Amino acid sequence: MRWHGGFSVRRMSSSADRVRQASALRLTLDRHAHAYYVLDTPTVPDTEYDRLFRELEALERGHPDLVTSDSPTQRVGAAPLAAFGTVQHRTPMLSLNNAFEDDEVVAFDRRVREALGMIVPAKEAPDTNAPMDAPMAQVAYAVEPKFDGLAISLTYVDGVLAVGATRGDGETGEDVTANLRTVRAIPLRIDSGLSLLEVRGEVLMRKQDFARLNAEQRARGEREFVNPRNAAAGSLRQLDPKMTAARNLWFFAYGVAPSEGTTLPASQHSALMDWLASLHFPVAPERARVTGVEGLLGYYRQIGAQRASLPYDIDGVVYKVDELGEQERIGFVSRAPRFALAHKFAAEEALTELVGIDIQVGRTGALTPVARLNPVFVGGVTVTNATLHNEDEVRRKDVRVGDTVIVRRAGDVIPEVVGVVVERRPEHTVEFTLPPACPVCGSAVLRPEGEAISRCSGGLFCPAQCKQALLHFASRRAMDIEGLGEKLVDQLVDAGLVHTPADLYRLSVEQLSALDRMADKSAQNLVEAIAASRKPALSRLVFALGIRNVGETTARDLARHYRNLPALMAAGVESFQQLSDVGPVVAASLAGFFAEPHNREVIAALLAAGVEPAPLPAIEPATPGADRVAGRTFVLTGTLSGLTRDEARALIEAAGGKVAGSVSKKTQYVVAGEDAGSKLDKARALGVEVIDEVALLALLKPASIA
């Protein structure tokens, strides 16, 4: 007789004896693994566990019919996968609404109590008093840390782990069963007494394991992971389960998904967590049950104080109404439960050295100073860049290259430099100055008066703005090039076929049909649409140029006033301001745009490619309604019954009127259709005359027949 960890096994040769022997070994190994991985109280030395494991391996190797999916030997060794399958969640894996301030938690508790009928809802409370709380009207909550990991679902059929899936989009996740079997904290078999049980929780990597993994990555000369969460997510998505097994992932259960026909053994969430613990699932040892807002906020502060000493990363705490029946009464809103809330921790901060300031040019030409930092771990990630927002912010904070700076990051918010440790400033630092030319294209940098953002003036030329400029140029109200959408623009720019709008007019059917998802017919249609745009109204071309602060209405005013493109381009600030609705800001935008040589080069290329803008027709005195519409400003709101907005605009403009987008004291008429909104309210407040579609058509008739 031999002894194995507290049980005895005789040398047996029959099939039944081998089954019993394998079962006994599995039970013993599971018990030791639970004590080691979950309870952190090993019951046998590692050498003894390894010896028992090898004995089970030998038994299963000699008798393959003994191998079961829940055997400890099956945690490692599955064949690599070609790709992950998908799993449709029986009930959606929802997100939680977030709170960052104590007041938001107070509001959450009030909403819960209102939903449960404990207090009078604020909107129904008597006018003379605040909403009245019933005596001792407090809710019991289950509370626990909010793990910074990857949400997963574990489905057990007849007590055996059958499917493990990621959250995915909440409705459908990735099938990562083979990889989850390698996570030793996850039981492969449970004695729940239920035919179907779906446990939900978080896979994560503990801090010590993350440090060990990165040390190994460094030793091999391989890329290090930026934080434990990313390491855990990447490890769980390895196509080879052996790679996942080597990463030493961890798991905490945080809930049970409801299953039709399944009766759970508890009516409180906290009791369910105790039950899961009895089934050998790891659950947060820091979980608790509290009552009322004071209990919630007290727990938040308690866990916040422990955060740095916890063996794993957390980014807040989670509150859930404890009674499952009350959860059901409260229900859900959108994609989140109304009975639960994630209370996130405040932004984390760290000190590091600022080694440089780069200038990032956005899609609209905005120049943003970006701090280059010595890498620093803050808010759960390693940060190497942080926003400085704009030139004024850099000056206000007096940020200089070489400074020791305070970097803040909260959740998924872009890291920012929030201050400087001036006493650590080295000698001879230089104040930051925004460059006068765009670092991408060399065009002049302009900052309109009263604005905080400086911008590259080379909107038609700058590669950083190229895609945005092309999409605007081709849009329906501009050059109206049908078929030139975002995906195609991406391909054209990425392939180097188009750099400016002028390049569109040199595209061939052969070039276009060689792109992804572009058949010959589609390519031919696009070439024809581009060709058809060569004869636009001058106002459309002016709008298509994408001049900042110049919308459709201003573009029409400019086209009517200057009549042709050379005259418009030759005008200056003073000339522009002679137009009634062109102020200093718009005038400066126009002058700056046309003064930039790169923009003038692109306009010249457009004209050379055959783009010939036509001036808007002059208003003849005989135009219907011109004597009562010309020179007056209209605003359209709501849905007209007999005209589209574009048709109404065209009729008004043909009669010499102007259509504005907003109501002001300069507005003469607001044309209101069905479902008119805030513009109608503003018109009434300002005393602007409101007319309907019938009255508009009457105005547009010649005076002699009106």
* C-alpha dihedral sign at 636, 641, 642, 644: positive
CA distance 333 to 85: 30
CA distance 160 to 154: 10
Inter-residue contact 209 to 247 (CB < 8 Å)? yes
Could you give the angle at which helices 584-595 and 597-608 cross, rounded to 10 degrees? 70
Inter-residue contact 202 to 145 (CB < 8 Å)? no
What single DSSP character describes residue 87? E
CB atoms within 10 A of CB 562: 20
Could you tell me where the beta strands, DSSP code E, fall in 292-415? 314-321, 332-333, 336-337, 340-344, 348-361, 367-378, 381-387, 404-409
CB atoms within 10 A of CB 417: 25
3-state secondary structure of 289: strand
Tell me which of 123, 146, 487, 682 is the catalytic residue. 146
Active site residue 146: yes
Strands 2-4 and 332-333: unpaired
> For residue 418, which of 365, 367, 363, 346 has the smallest C-alpha distance?
346
> For residue 431, which of 481, 377, 357, 363 has the smallest C-alpha distance?
357
CB atoms within 10 A of CB 542: 25
CA distance 39 to 303: 20
Residue 259 in tokens = 């299953």
Amino acid 300 reads: Y
Active site residues: 146
